[in-house]
Amino acid sequence: MRQVNIHEAKTHLSRLLARVQQGEEIIIAKADVPIARLSPINSRPAARVPGSAKGKIAMTGDFDAPLPESVLESFEE
């Protein structure tokens, strides 16, 4: 991991991006305080599979019942 200041990042952005493309992570700092990170984007995330959470989530029978009046009033405050 390499840290560069903002001026260097602006001046050498193409070079830094080439290094990131090779897998390196670059930290951009202002006055030696890290403020941003350039990191490679991994290939596509794993595909989502519909129904993969089946049996892992439970809801009560009244999950969509009206909220109590005291809760509704707190939204108006």
Domains of the chain, by residue range, sit at 2-38
CA angle 4, 5, 7 (to 5 degrees): 120
| CA torsion through residues 52, 54, 55, 58, sign | positive
Beta carbons of 35 and 28 less than 8 angstroms apart: yes
Sequential pLDDT tens for the chain (77 residues): 899 999 999 999 999 999 999 999 999 999 999 999 999 987 677 888 999 888 998 889 898 999 999 999 998 87
Distance of CA 68 to the CA centre of its chain: 34
CATH class of residue range 2-38: alpha beta
- Whole-prediction pTM: 0.54
